[in-house]
Structure 1
């Protein structure tokens, strides 16, 4: 593992456990088991540390979503299970998801982080309209926004809200219901 990954992974853990206030260069060094000053040598500023952490988080989450976004076979029968599997991984690794929420909130206060956060988010959002269009959506942009909002809301409810963590079967059924409703919506175009 590269030192940048070690530092970013430690930062992800700290964000999840201690929140944004607990993320310091010194704390990352301690969490990662690195000599004092190692994180500062890699990411001189807090902004650089946040960017490194967000980049690593995006990389880890893209590995999870890659399975859901595979093109072959793209069917209404197979997609809900693939999406449910990706959501379940995110729910099971609360550490990463909590860290992402911390970064999302911080991005509302730091324009430079907002730009990076939004760019990272597009990697997850941009494939959705084409995927839904291939399945027959009459309004793929709107349906993609709804699909992403559904997944985000479900994760937030399970991890930071008062909801329970759904099983893989419950996720698959919920996504099948959502996608079936979208793709068979006669009023989707207007």
Structure 2
């Protein structure tokens, strides 16, 4: 496994170069030598950081997750607290609470779709590779939990009787939009933020019944 040094300048340079290559050339274009060249580093630098292809892929997945956090800004979402029990979490089940949830979700998704489509291409390249590499699949899924688990808590706080299932529906709706706009037939028809707000509102109303 790659050393946990993604916070260092060189590690970020290497993994950002890896993401650039994935977006531009696909998985076949991601090699240690190519990363060195793209990053402007001496030959062997990427091998010193990530000895194997598996470790390079893991480091790239980790960097993708870090950059996605900055784009999606989960800190903009309402905080349900340690549990969704009455008295310990904001009332996201009320219309105003759901509006606050939508106000966090819609801008984040719009920002990703319009300003960072290259990260979406990287996400799909790595996700497909993970279907062929069980070790990477486990690593990819583990990094994804930082996004999934907060959504489950938010759905519980919003009054969902089945927060896990409803969180999956919410993620699937977002993923479907992202794929359609990044790699599908809607690349020239990215929804506006207002349209995304309407979509989120319709989805939540259908799941929660209010």
TM-score (norm 2): 0.83
Counterpart in the other structure of 1:183: 208
Counterpart in the other structure of 1:94: 117
* Counterpart Cα distance in 2 of 1:70 and 1:44: 41
* Counterpart Cα distance in 1 of 2:164 and 2:195: 25
1:67 corresponds, among 58, 62, 75, to 75
1:4 corresponds, among 6, 11, 21, to 11
| SS at 1:77 equivalent | helix
* Pairing 1:84–2:91 present: no
1:117 corresponds, among 140, 149, 152, to 140
**Which deviates the most, 117-126 or 83-92?**
83-92
Counterpart in the other structure of 1:166: 191
* Counterpart Cα distance in 2 of 1:120 and 1:114: 10
* Counterpart Cα distance in 2 of 1:111 and 1:13: 24
String of CA shifts for 1:139-169, please: whole Å, max 9, x gaps.
Answer: 2111111000000000000001101211111
* Pairing 1:152–2:160 present: no
1:21 corresponds, among 28, 41, 48, to 28
Gaps of 5+ in 2: 1-7, 81-89
Q: CA deviation at 1:68?
A: 4.4
**Which deviates the most, 87-96 or 139-148?**
87-96
Query: What RMSD in Å do the two structures reach over aligned CA positions?
Result: 1.5
Q: CA deviation at 1:84?
A: 1.2
Matched residue count: 185
Counterpart in the other structure of 2:39: 32
| SS at 1:71 equivalent | coil
Query: Is the CA contact 1:69–1:127 (under 8 Å) kept in the aligned structure 2?
Result: no
Q: CA deviation at 1:81?
A: 2.3
2:62 corresponds, among 55, 58, 74, to 55
* Counterpart Cα distance in 1 of 2:49 and 2:111: 29
| SS at 1:126 equivalent | helix
